[in-house]
Each structure stands twice: as structure tokens, then as C-alpha cells.
Structure 1
Amino acid sequence: MVFLLLFGLLGGWILAGRMLAPLDRITHATRTATAGSLSHRIRLPGRKDEFRELADAFDTMLARLEAHVAEQRRFAANASHELRTPLAISKTLIDVARADPHHDTGELIDRLHTVNTRAIDLTEALLLLSRADQRSFTREHVDLSLVAEEATETLLPLAEKHGVTIETSGDIAPTVGSPALLLQLSTNLVHNAIVHNLPEQGTVWVHTTVRPKTVRLTVENTGEQVTPEVASTLTEPFQRGTERVHTDHAGVGLGLAIVKTITRAHDGTLTLTPRSAGGLRVTVELPAKAPRADSAA
């Protein structure tokens, strides 16, 4: 009996150790991640059981978290660089004015106004990006076609100034979201299409379509050839494609990044496709508003 008892205890200890070994690896990975190292992975071997599924899910979470942190650090570095430029220019202009009191103050004031306006636009874009990313907005019923039409009418003077024709078409596209953010999304898309267009006789097409479960806003424009590699990077913050033809409305490099964030905050998808004839086709697909029960009856 003593031998059987000792054998049972030893066998149970070994069996428990083998069963709890995966938990020890998961616990170690959790402590490593808590300490700040997100590159560690469990990579649990063996058959596909509950421990393996838990470890794989944890590895996936770590990979996404590591990518998100890297993206945030890159964004913070880029934002700091973009904000530092107008501040440095302003300091230089002020130093010049202090060193030479007889310098033309009108020219300095105009340049300071331009630089300050750019810094304000950049700051507002960063705040909008943060607000959309946090999803801190009230969802309402929105007709995407009306929002796109409003954005087009707002930017029509800019298009006429640069000889760009805007053509709108499509169906009523009901969805749910923030009217202000969706208007900003549409405005950024149309503005981007105008700015990246041909020097003369360019065209922008704005079209809305309705599908069984989604609604689409498509904005196309003529322009220079865009490679798929360049198109895949245009939604990154502060990424700019080919040189702008119209430098007076160059933006702050956050237009499509804001579009991407607003689309993601509305549980939608954003697709950028180069046109074979030149230019870009941008498609935003959002969940359609569910029909009311009384209207269905």
C-alpha cells in the first residue's frame, strides 16, 4: 500500500507537471508582455487542444498589439516632425524681425500667418484623427449620397479654379454613423481627387451605390499613373504620393489617413485602386442601415 501510494503520488506529480506546462509558458509570456516586451511569442507545440488554441490566440493578440504600438510610435514621431517644422519657421521669422527692426513687417506677418495656419490645420487634423479612432461620437441615420453631394458643392469653387470637372451620380445610400465625420470623409476624398488631378481638364467622379448589406461611396479622378505599391501607402499618416500639381492646397498629409480612420470607426472598408488611364479610384464601403419593421410591413 505504501509503494502504491508513493507511485500514485509520483505519477500524479509528473502528470500534473505535463498538463500544467503549457500554462507555465502562457504565464511566462504574459509576464514578459507586462514587462514591456511584445515581441515574445509562446508558439506552443503539440496537438490542437484547448491550451494550444489559448496560446495561439494570445500570440495573435501580441502580434496585433505590437503592430499597433509600432504604428502609434511611428505616428507620434511623424506628428512631432510635422509640428516642429512650422514652429521652427515661426521662430526663425521672429528672430529675423528682432535682429532687423527695419525689415518689411508686412511680409513677415504674411509668412507667419501662412505658417500658423498650417500648424492649426495640422493640429485640428490630429484631433479629428484621435476623435475618430476613439469612436467617441453619436451614431445617427445618414444618407451617404447627400453627404457626398454637400462635400462636392463645398469644393466646387476649388475645382472650377483648377479646371477640374466634378460629376456626381448614384442612389440614396442610407447608413448609420456620425454626419460630421462622414462629411469630413467625403470632403477629404473629393479634395484629394481635385488636388491630385491633371493640370488641365481633369475630372472627378463621385458615385454612390447600394448593396444588400452595405452602401458604397466611390471617388475617382484622372491624374498621373499611380503604382499599386504607392497606392497601398497613401493611407499612412504623412505619406504623400506624387508631387501635387496645385501646391496652394497641398494639405497636411493626413487626408486619406483620416478617411481610413473614419471608415474603420464606422466598421467599414477602404479600398484604393489605381486606374489604368491614370489617377485613383477610392471606394468606401459602410454597413447599410437596417430597414424599419413598420416600413417593411
Structure 2
Amino acid sequence: MVRASGLSVRLRLTLSYAGFLMLAGALLLAVVWVFLLRYVPAEIDLRIPSPGGTERVATARGSSLPAPPRGQFIPNRSDLVRAFVPRAAATLVVLLVLGLAGGWLLAGAMLTPLTRITDATRRATQGSLAHRIRLPGRRDEFRELADAFDAMLSRLEAHVAEQRRFAANASHELRTPLAITRTLLDVARHDPHRDTDALVDRLHAVNTRAIDLTEALLLLSRADQRSFTREPVDLSLLAEEATETLLPLAERCGVTIETLGDMTWAVGSHALLLQLTMNLVHNAIVHNLPAQGDVRIRTGVQSGGALLTVENTGETLTPQLVSTLTEPFRRGTERIRTDHAGVGLGLAIVKSITQAHDGTLTLSPRADGGLRVTVNFPAAPAQAGS
């Protein structure tokens, strides 16, 4: 935005300080002047005793004074004006000079933190997000602004770093099926007697994985943009639907699914919340014990929040590893791999959908192995549930 140049904030503050000081000085002088006028009349009566024992009355008006007794001077109002006005004017001039000089210095001292904030803003616009203001001193308006700006820079820096990692990982994941497809086609071109059925099956599998990855990226983008309609959704029904859909996969993997809980109403997108539940249950099935694994799904209302908890058995996980599982394309190296491991965006999509619904996602390792995932959404109002 192009703006016309104007007076600086420091100059405006200086003029404000000086103007206020001049106004206060003028009011003070006016009060003194009015107070003096009450006791200095414009007409003075002097009663001067005469040598014969009688009194001689002399009246003074304006600037004409009677001859006072020797050694005595009695001023009237005009004398007060001549004595007071020049000194009052000189006092106002001194106040103006002091107001301008003092206001300039005080404004500079007060605006020093703002200068540091402006410098940090310029660095941020040039791409330097690592700089922090770290304004010293006790908390005031400028310190709160500086702390808020530092917090914003920290979030921006973390977000930019996450986006860079995501772009690099997405590029790698998308390049892999394309590279495999090109390799298979090159082999088929140089080996015309190769079994075409096996080639088609392999290309179909690679293409399916690329499609799944693309759809997962689109779903992740949709959740981040929050472009969905909110409505009351029963999490217990979503848990049952996800269980019924993924039951064949659980049976092939030798995993038992247990679903518990009453009606638990949340407000959000039915499609996105169903995708969240499907991802959690699918993740709990494929990252489980090789045989005789368990998956437990619970829903309920606690402390005004709608809870969805999915926990599974499995290998022992460290807290450090669990804290990274929601990153895009992050797969725990200690977790069990299967042919149904997905594209590495399951928990990242869960995290994005949870944030889009103003919820909280908590991942914690189980003491006897496996993972516990708890999603806490704001509960729907009672009338929405009814």
C-alpha cells in the first residue's frame, strides 16, 4: 500500500507534549491572574490625614495614582498588568522550549522498543524468521507486543520448516511410483516376451498407491482449509462403521477389535470425522502384533469434551518416537510393517482434521507395548444431541 509521507510519531508526540505543557502553563497563569484581580481593584481610595486633623480623600482611577505617603507605593490593576503580562509571556516561551526539548527526548526513549520491533519486522519480511526481539524489562504494552511478535515468528518458522519437510517428503513419495512405473515399462520394452499379466498387476498396484497418496494429500489440504459444513455427529456410530469396514482386514491380520461407549456427539464434518476414525482404526490394525493383537475403541463424554480413544497392542514405543508419528510421511522404524501400511499420512491427516475441528490429539505409548491415541473434541450442545 502506497501512503503519503507525514509527520513521524516521535514528532507528533513531541508536539503533543509541548502543547499540553503550554496549555497547563497558560491555565496556571490564568488562575494566578484571576486570583490577583480579585484583590487588586481598578479604583483605589486613599484617606490621607491633613495637618489640621481632617482627612483628605484622593481617588485613583486607571493609571492615575494619588501621591501616596512618603515611602509607600500602592499599585492598582493597570500596574499589575504591566508587571505580570511580560513575565507570563516569557514563562510561556520557556515552557514551550522545555516542552519541545523534553518531549523529543521522552518520545525517543518511549519509542525505542517500537524501533526494535520495526527492525525485526523488516527482517521477517526479508525471510529471516530466526531473529527474535527479546525485549528486556517488565511487562507493558510494548513488551506484550514484542512477546506476541516473537511467538508469531516462532510459529511461522516452525510452520515453514514443516512445510519444507512436507514438500520434500511429498515429492519423494510421489516420485517413487512414477520411477517404478518407468522402470517396469523400460523392462517390458526390452523384454517383449515378459509376462504381461504380471506387469499389468504390478503397474496397477503402483498406480493405486499413487492415487491413494494423491487423495490423501487432497484430504489433508481440505482439512487444513476448514472448508466443510459443521453438523452434529455421533462418534460412537463412526466407530462402529469403521469397525465394520475394516473387520476383514483385522481378521486377515489376526487382530481382535473391541468397541465400547455410548452416544458421543461432536460438531463437525461427518466425512472428515469418519476418515479420522478410519485412519486411527486402520493404523491400530496394521501396526499391531503379528498375531493375537487387540484394538480397543472407546467413545464418551468427559469434562465437557467428546472423547474418541483408540489403543492397540504392539511393540514397545519410546516417547521420542511417538512424538514424531504425526509428521507427514513419518513411519516408526520400530513399528511392524505390513502390505497395508498406507502412504505415511494417516496420523498426519488425523492431526489436521482434529485441529480443523478445534480438538486436541494425544499420542502416548502403552506400558505393555502399543499405542494409545485420544482425540478430544468440543462436545455438541444438548439440543444438538437430542
In the superposition, the TM-score normalised over structure 2's length comes to: 0.73
The structure 2 residue matched to 1:56, chosen from 147, 156, 165, is: 147
User: Which deviations, in whole Å up to 9, do the C-alpha atoms of 1:270-289 show, x marking residues without a partner?
Assistant: 11111111111111111100
Mapping 1:249-260, distance limit 5 Å? 249-260=340-351
Closer, same or farther: CA 101–48 of 1 in aligned 2, 3 Å: same
Deviations 1:244-293 (A, max 9, x none): 64622010011111111111111111111111111111111111001129
**Greater alpha carbon shift after TM alignment, 104-113 vs 73-82:** 104-113
SS at match of 1:123: helix
1:221 equivalent in alignment to 2:312: yes
Partners of 1:256 and 1:136 lie apart in 2 by: 20
C-alpha distance in 2, partners of 1:39/1:264?
Answer: 26
Residue identity opposite 2:214 in structure 1: T
AA aligned to 1:284 is V
* Equivalent-residue separation in structure 1 for 2:385 and 2:360 (angstroms): 30
How many residues are treated as equivalent by the alignment? 295
Q: CA RMSD in A?
A: 1.8
* Percent of aligned positions that are identical: 77
Does residue 95 (structure 1) correspond to residue 186 (structure 2)? The answer is yes
Which of 90, 99, 111 is residue 20 of structure 1 equivalent to? 111
Distance 1:128 1:141 in 2: 21
Secondary structure, in 3 states, of the residue corresponding to 1:247?
coil
Q: How does 1:206-245 map to 2 (within 5 A)?
A: 206-242=297-333, 245=336
- Is residue 2:128 matched to residue 1:37? yes
Distance 1:55 1:246, change over 3 A: closer
Write out aligned runs for 1:1-297 (5 A): 1=90, 5-242=96-333, 245=336, 247-292=338-383
Which residue type is aligned with residue 280 of structure 1? L
Distance in 2, matches of 1:292 and 1:245, equals 44
> Which position in structure 1 is the counterpart of 2:79?
none
Task: Kindly indicate whether the alpha-carbon contact (under 8 Å) linking 2:366 and 2:372 is maintained by their aligned counterparts in 1.
Answer: yes
Partners of 2:244 and 2:267 in 1: how far apart?
Answer: 22
What's the offset of the Cα at 1:196? 1.0
1:221 partner amino acid: N
Unpaired runs of 5+ residues, structure 1, are none
**What CA deviation, in whole Å up to 9, does each residue of 1:7-35 have, x standing for no partner?**
44222211111112122221222122112
The CA deviation at 1:243 is 5.5
Contact 2:265 2:385 in 1 (8 A): no
Distance 1:112 1:294 in 2: 47
Whose Rg is larger? 2
Given that 1:195 and 1:244 are in contact with CA atoms closer than 8 Å, whether structure 2 keeps it comes out as no
Q: CA deviation at 1:71?
A: 0.7
